[in-house]
Chain A
Amino acid sequence: MASPIEQFAIKPIVPIHVGGVDISFTNSALYMVIAVVVATVFLTGAMSKRALIPGRLQSVVEMIFEFVANMLRTNAGSGSQKYFPFIFTLFMFVLVGNLLGLTPYSFTYTSHIIVTAGLACLVFVGVTIIGFAKHGAGYLRMFFPHGAPIILAPILVPIELVSYLSRPFSLSVRLAANMTVGHIMLKVIATFVISLGVLGILPFAGIMGVTILELGIACLQAYIFTVLSCIYLHDALHLH
């Protein structure tokens, strides 16, 4: 029987080496490409009729659009609208990655810490650049809460600095760990279905419940990743 973590193995499909660096087209890359195609076809296809009164698919697309737009507006405040395409892309990339991963025999690229870390670092670096571009050196006030007594600075500044720097870690680990654990759990319960014979019906019922739970988690984690990005963007635009 295959190990529960075998599903996370990176397998090269088209080996590519450039200057000694391995950038092979792998199963992970394949699913990233599929995610881009699925997201684009879904979003543009559903809107192709451009109906004034939307059909079902168009309603879903409009709901996603309004959902992300509201998320950005309420969490990042004024002046955040120009980052909407980025936030929307981030949400769709994570959401479609999470949901594609739940398809049997597929690969979940969002379960890999390096991918989520890449996205989290993109958010972190981007937010930091926006913060300094908007406030200059004043962005350093982020690390000292407004109105706190100056005598507390030696304690507060390191705490704030650490909490700021830990953002990309918590962001990336939360997503990757949730995806990895969910898939391992599905796999472990699935092995019980085979090994218990007729009684396997019990873990089979369980696996259906867990699959539904995982669908919820897939959407929830995409939401959490995006909403935290919005909150970080808010800090960069408006300080605390």
Chain B
Amino acid sequence: MPHFDATTFASQLFWLAVTFVTLYILMSKVALPRISDILEERQRRISDDLDMAERLKAETEAAIATYEKALAAARTSAQAEISRAMEANAAEAAARHAEMDAVLAAKITESEARIHAARHEALAEVNGIAADVAAAIVERIADVKADADTVAPVVAAVAKERGL
């Protein structure tokens, strides 16, 4: 077998040494630094991007917190404003209500007095009319000319008797 032909060993070992050392130099000085440069650059870019994303996320969260705080403050002050306005309205309404009540009560009292007077007046007139009617009836039935002054006390007495 050619594998065990010792006359070729020197040549093979010599060229193995030459080519292996050449490849080692090419790899360690050219190829490997180039590859590891790119890999490191990529790693650096990725971690930079991740850092940036982290920072932006923190900023966003801070902005959201500020917004939430402002919103809560606005909500509280609006609530206070609303309740103050409602109280003011309620007070005003109560005042107007009381005023109106007073006016109405005065009107009612006045009206009642007027009704009372009118009723008295009307009742008084009723007695007069009744007397006239009674005189007329007496004249038609008995053909007696009844004097108004005579009839009136009688009618009044009857009315009193009947509770009118």
Contact = CB atoms under 8 A, between A and B. Distances in A.
Interface stretch (A43-51, A190-198, A216-224): A43-51
Interface string A25-61: 1101100110110011001100100111010001001
B2 A88 contact: no
B34 interface: yes
B35 A62 contact: yes
Interface of A is mostly: helix
B19 A29 contact: yes
Contacts of A29: 11-12, 15, 19
B5 A118 contact: no
Contact of B32 (A12, A22, A33, A85): A85
B26 A40 contact: yes
Interface stretch (B39-47, B69-77, B98-106, B128-136): B39-47
Contact of A89 (B27, B34, B36): B27
Contacts of A114: 3, 8-9, 12-13
Most central of A21, A29, A65, A114 by chain B CB within 10 Å: A114
Interface string A50-87: 11101000100110011000000000000000001110
A21 B15 contact: no
Interface residues of B, number: 37
Contacts, number: 130
Contacts of A25: 11, 15
B150 interface: no
Given A47-B35, A65-B36, A88-B32, A115 B12 contact: yes
Contacts of B34: 44, 47, 50
Given A47-B35, A89-B24, A35 B11 contact: no
B16 A47 contact: no
Nearest to B45: A52
A26 B8 contact: yes
Interface of B: 1-5, 7-20, 22-24, 26-28, 30-32, 34-39, 41-42, 45
